[in-house]
Structure 1
Amino acid sequence: MLLASASNVPGADIVVAPWEWALFVGFVALLVLADLFLFHREAHEISLKEAAVSTAAWVVIGLGFGLFCWWWLGGSAATQYFTGYVIEKSLSVDNVFVWAVILGYFAVPRANQHRVLFWGIFGALVLRAIFIFTGVALLQRFEVLLLVFGAFLVFTGWRVGTHDETEIHPERNPALKLVRRVMPVTAEFHGTRFTVVQAGKRYATPMFVVLVLIEATDVVFAVDSIPAILAISRSQFIVFSSNAFAILGLRSLYFVLAGAQDKLVHLNKGLGVILAYVGVKMLLSWWGVHIATPISLAFIAVVLGVTVLASLRAAARASHEAVDG
């Protein structure tokens, strides 16, 4: 196996000036604002065709930025970006299915779903930035955390890979209980509004409750995905940019995949393998053994490809057996 040199920590040599950070953040903000006020200005039900086109556009933007990184920061940085992008995109699929449960539980009208997911993604960007900068700073200061993060990822990979189905109960979520304790909630929706004033008193709407639950679930998933990407790169810019472009397209991906959970029957096993792999990679780096990033990217791509093909074959087999029955 090709190995990077023991002294070469991936991403440690990538330097991004403050003004370059400012341009990047401005570019992301421009994309977010265009998505909300230009392409989805009016609340409406997202069709499968519109969601597929939007998903493809976000993927093109994400991959295009990776090519830009290749030109700007070099091949090593671009490979780290692509690997982080693929990891975050794949791990986020489970998050999309959790959104489907939450939106279904609260019976959020389809015309309003894009708006609440937009603000959920916006909040996720802020939370991810905090996690990433904190995580990189901690790893630079306390190298022993490599063992902690690595062991955690291996354990999480085993847990995800060996549990076929996990029931989700939104009504038991602590965030929901906290909202209802702090602020009264209306029984009905009020369009896309998150709060309303009734009889001189401020009320939260079910849209606000859904937003809080979406943010809470993103925190849970970030606990897995951020350490996984930190195993690929220590560059705050590479980790954040790959995260940002991966999750920006999750809203449209939700409308594409919301009904596909039953078809991706082996998804949990593939995600478990990926998490365990990056955990082992992080543990090895503690002993000075750094697996080259192109190998990690190839391994993750192969695992995802095998997982999707095996899932589709299993779903087709189950459908044929049902018809024969």
Structure 2
Amino acid sequence: MQTIGTPFLWLVFAGVTLLALVADFALMRHGGPHKVSFKEAAWWSVGWVALAMSFNAWLWWHTGQRLGAAVGNEIGMEFLTGYLVEKALAVDNIFVFLMLFNYFAVPELQRQRALVIGILGAIVLRAILIFAGALLLQKFHWLLYIFGIFLLATGVKMWRASGQGPDLNSNPVLRWLTAHVPFLRRYYGSALWIGHGTRRKFTPLLIVIVMLGVTDVIFAVDSIPAIFAITTDPFIVLTSNVFAVLGLRAMFFLLQGMADRFHLLPYGLALVLVFIGAKMLLIDVYKLPVLLALAVVAVIIGSTIALSLLRPAPAPAGR
């Protein structure tokens, strides 16, 4: 498996991630369960982006010193492009998370806890998927074409489904949980269950956390092949993924009140998947420069956000 990831680089990445999570949990516990304001979410979002960019700058410098400036520049651009792609696709996660919270009427005070546990699970599951994908691609290069076709099909499907929310009532995981797990119809603070042994019953908060994890796995199946179109180096794939996921909680609270204002963004995300799928299918014919791929993704996302703000969605009938 070809990778720039030396034991030292993996150690630095693990250390930065661990320190960031510890600081995040410590500050969250210090503040206690509370409704996250837009200002607080904005500062946290800026902090997570700054952390990712600082790591990328250090990685660019370190790789340049070790392997040469050209390699350092390429690695820096691959990380930045992968981070932007994952960050953009994470917005779709947030829209579904918001629907889950509204569907289960999760109290504002408990949304932080649910997201924190869900994000930890997402990091572990994505790491497993990324290493499995890297090993498979090393042995079976033709899988890149399968990924490319999958991304094209997913992009087309996302375009057609834009504006339509997922039907949670027909979700097989949710239906199985509600049919087989004894759960209560009310929340008990941040508790996941009440009672012991055969009398144990689970609160809706546990169902929400499970559904958050399932949702992220579904979206990871789309987003991880997308970043493999940028680079097949598992170190770059994993680090850019993890730094994008770390800021997911702050991004949720930042966007939860503005989800309707970005009504055209799903179309932009669909175009990103189609573009990356086409890039992957052409990889053995023409390797698109990483800088150009970054520019295309940035223009698509930026344009759909701008158009969403310039052309607000029509008000629902009856208002």
Tell me if the contact between 2:163 and 2:263 (Cα under 8 Å) persists in the aligned partners. no
Residue 189 to residue 198, structure 1, CA distance change in 2 (3 Å):
farther
Q: Distance in 1 between matches of 2:168 and 2:208?
A: 9
Which position in structure 1 is the counterpart of 2:21? 32
Shift of 1:162: 3.0
Write the mapping of 1:187-226 to structure 2, written as runs, cut at 5 A: 187-197=185-195, 201-226=199-224
SS in 2 for 1:262: helix
1:133-148 to structure 2, matched below 5 A, reads: 133-148=131-146
Q: 2:312 maps to which residue? A: 315
Aligned to 1:125: 123
Instruction: Name the SS for the 1:212 alignment partner.
Output: helix
Partner residue in 1 for 2:176: 178
Q: Alpha-carbon deviation of 1:139?
A: 0.8
Letter in 1 for 2:293: S
Residue in 2 aligned with 1:21? 10
Residues 198 and 189 of structure 1, relative CA distance in 2, 3 Å threshold: farther
Partner in structure 2 of residue 5 of structure 1: none
Identity, in percent, stands at 39
- The one-letter amino acid paired with 1:189 is Y
Is the Cα–Cα contact under 8 Å of residues 265 and 314 in structure 1 kept in the other structure? no
Aligned twin of 2:300: 303
Q: Structure 1 residue runs of 4+, over 6 Å off?
A: none
Unaligned runs of 5+ in 2: 64-71
Superposed, 1:269-284 pairs within 5 Å as 269-284=267-282
Say if 1:36 and 1:150 are closer, same or farther in 2 by CA, change over 3 A. Answer: same
TM-score, normalized by length of structure 1?
0.90
Distance 1:40 1:239 in 2: 31
The answer to whether structure 1 residue 86 and structure 2 residue 84 are counterparts is yes
Does structure 2 retain, via aligned residues, the 8 Å contact 1:70–1:78?
A: yes
Structure 1, residues 88-135: CA drift from partner, whole Å, max 9, x if none?
000110110100010011111101101110000000000100110011
Shift of residue 13, structure 1, vs aligned partner: 5.5
**Hey, what does 1:57 align to over in structure 2?**
47
CA distance in 1, matches of 2:59, 2:150: 30
Over aligned residues, Cα RMSD in angstroms? 1.9
Worse overlay, 56-65 or 238-247: 56-65
Letter matched to residue 263 of structure 2:
V
> Mind listing any 5+ residue stretches in structure 1 that lack a counterpart?
1-11
Equivalence map 1:280-299=2 (5 Å): 280-285=278-283, 287-299=284-296
